[in-house]
Structure 1
Amino acid sequence: MLVKYRLDYKKIALGLLSYIPGLRNLQHLEAEFAWYAASPNRELLLWRDSDGHFTAIVGVEHVYGVLLLRHISITPALRDSDLMFNVLDALQTYNSDKILMGTIAGQKIINAWRRHNEQRTPN
């Protein structure tokens, strides 16, 4: 289930975002949090599993009727599971009025998610 980021989740969010190359440095992480906080069009959402543990985080930006995936990070132990697809499914449901797109780097993830959904949906 997706949960909106709150300040009391900062330590967890820092840990999850630190799995992203380029965000391992605390200064870069703090700058990223400041960037998300600087606009109401940007948000961080955490994924809470059925046991209540936070296992993923996504950063999105609402622009021109599009939901732009900026970041997605999943705990290493769950990266080979379908968790990424479940998170993206929930993200699309959460923002059903918007098209989910990725940044240049993130579009590969979105394309894989779309292919995965096409394979699950019977013709």
Structure 2
Amino acid sequence: MLIRYKKTLEKIAMGLLSFMPNEKDVKKLTETIHSYENDDNWVLYLWKKNDEYVGIVGLVVDEHNIATIQHVSVIPSYRGEGVATEMLQEVAEIGQYESVRATDETRSFVQKCIHCIDEKADD
């Protein structure tokens, strides 16, 4: 189940985001969380399964309501169970965005998980 990020989930979100290769540095991770908290165009969802937060997906939504997937991460013990696919499908199906696409960084992973992602990266 997708849960919209809120400040009370900050430590959990930071832990999940830290699995992303470019989010290992604490300063960078703090800046990323700050962007999700303060920029209306940055949207962060956590994935809850069996009362445990096991994944995260972060989007940047442009003026045309196109969501670009910036971050996708699943805790190691849940990898290979389809969690990322479920998260991305739910993001695409909630009907909140005109379309959903990936960045150059997230594209190869996203394409493995879901087929409805626009192949064009955000430039």
TM-score by length of 2: 0.84
8 Å CA contact retained: 1:47, 1:57: yes
8 Å CA contact retained: 2:7, 2:37: no
Q: Does 1:54 align with 2:53?
A: yes
1:85 is aligned to 85
Q: CA deviation at 1:82?
A: 1.0
What percentage of residue pairs aligned between the two structures are identical? 23
What is the SS of the residue equivalent to 2:105? Answer: coil
Q: How does 1:1-20 map to 2 (within 5 A)?
A: 1-20=1-20
Structure 2 unaligned blocks of 5 or more: 117-123
Q: How does 1:15-34 map to 2 (within 5 A)?
A: 15-34=15-34
Q: Per the alignment, do residues 114 and 18 of structure 1 end up closer, same or farther by CA in structure 2, a change over 3 Å counting?
A: closer
Q: Per the alignment, do residues 97 and 28 of structure 1 end up closer, same or farther by CA in structure 2, a change over 3 Å counting?
A: closer
Q: CA deviation at 1:114?
A: 3.4
2:101 is aligned to 101
Bigger mean CA deviation after superposition, 1-10 or 77-86: 77-86
1:73 is aligned to 73
Aligned residues: 115
User: C-alpha separation between the residues in 1 aligned to 2:22 and 2:110?
Assistant: 20
1:42 is aligned to 42
User: C-alpha separation between the residues in 1 aligned to 2:97 and 2:11?
Assistant: 31
Calculate the aligned-residue CA RMSD, in Å. Answer: 1.7
User: C-alpha separation between the residues in 1 aligned to 2:115 and 2:94?
Assistant: 20
Q: CA deviation at 1:7?
A: 0.8
TM-score by length of 1: 0.84
Q: CA deviation at 1:97?
A: 4.3
Structure with larger Rg: 1
Q: CA deviation at 1:96?
A: 5.0
Q: CA deviation at 1:94?
A: 2.0
User: C-alpha separation between the residues in 2 aligned to 1:42 and 1:22?
Assistant: 17
User: C-alpha separation between the residues in 2 aligned to 1:34 and 1:97?
Assistant: 23
- 1:65-92 deviations in whole A, cap 9, x for unaligned? 3111000010011111211110111111
